[in-house]
């Protein structure tokens, strides 16, 4: 596994962001079954192959920020949640995953939770972390809420119509396929491999984190993101 230097020059990061965004638009996702992860998404592979160095993997600043998807879904209290309206003007992290994922999803959310816990309380209150399920049939509001509370009680979980979720993910360059049973009867679901960070000034995703970004990177970046700034 190759890693990026801890301090990447802004110009290089932006150049990588443009290349990575182009890869994302091909529809990268990871497929996970009940027994393990099916492999890395193309976006993570592209970032790994494009980067080399000795420090932990860093986020990528995008030249062409993504618009926030217009998703109206159901939160873990069973209430209607309009993503654009509810997170307008707030620093927001969005991730598409599912609670039965054996490794990538829980690790990603745990890393974010640990980094968030180290922020001052005022900055924690500003930040919105939204987990959108890619497996809404199994991830009911109740089960999704229970899973997220084990990570961070303030995390927002959204579920609902799969086609709506799929369209929202697609607008961010993430391809999701409906969960299906494999030949062994195990449910195989796909999920995004990216965390997208939206800044409050324009409600667009300016920073992208791939699945191999460690907790140290989130710890370094969240203070700036919580203040609405690029890390």
State the Cα angle at 190 between 207 and 53, rounded to 5°.
40
Rounded to an integer, what distance in angstroms lies between the CA atom of residue 4 and that of residue 50?
Answer: 9
With contact defined as beta carbons under 8 Å apart, do 220 and 231 qualify? yes
Q: What is the dihedral of CA 67, 222, 174, 146, to 10 degrees?
A: -110
Burial classification of residue 112, based on how many CB atoms lie within 10 Å of its CB (0-12 exposed, 13-18 middle, 19 or more buried): buried
List Cα–Cα distances, 49 to 9, 115, 205, 215, in angstroms.
18, 26, 23, 21
> What is d(CA 226, CA 231) in angstroms, rounded to the nearest whole number?
10
Tell me which H or E stretch contains 54.
Answer: none
Q: Is 32 annotated as a binding residue?
A: no
The answer to the question of whether 3 is labelled as a binding residue is no
Known binding-site positions for Cu cation: 101, 105, 191
Known binding-site positions: 101, 105, 191
């Amino acid at each position: 596994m190759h890693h990026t230097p801890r301090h990447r020059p802004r110009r290089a990061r932006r150049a990588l962001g443009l290349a990575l965004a182009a890869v994302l638009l091909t529809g990268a996702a990871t497929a996970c079954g009940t027994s393990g992860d099916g492999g890395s998404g193309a976006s993570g592979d592209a970032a790994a192959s494009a980067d080399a160095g000795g420090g932990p993997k860093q986020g990528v600043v995008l030249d062409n920020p993504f618009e926030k998807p217009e998703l109206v879904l159901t939160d873990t209290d069973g209430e209607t949640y309009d993503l654009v309206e509810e997170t307008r003007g707030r620093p927001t992290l969005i991730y598409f995953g599912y609670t039965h994922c054996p490794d990538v999803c829980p690790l990603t959310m745990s890393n974010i939770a640990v980094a968030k816990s180290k922020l001052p309380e005022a900055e924690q209150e500003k930040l919105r972390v939204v987990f959108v399920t890619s497996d809404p049939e199994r991830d009911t509001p109740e089960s999704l809420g229970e899973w997220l509370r084990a990570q961070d009680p303030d995390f927002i979980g959204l579920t609902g119509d799969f086609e709506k979720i799929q369209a929202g993910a697609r607008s961010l360059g993430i391809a999701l396929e409906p969960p299906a049973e494999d030949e062994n009867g195990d449910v195989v679901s796909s999920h995004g491999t990216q965390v997208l960070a939206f800044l409050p000034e324009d409600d667009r995703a300016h920073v992208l984190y791939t699945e191999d970004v460690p907790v140290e990177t989130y710890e370094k970046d969240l203070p700036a993101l919580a203040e609405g700034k690029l890390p």
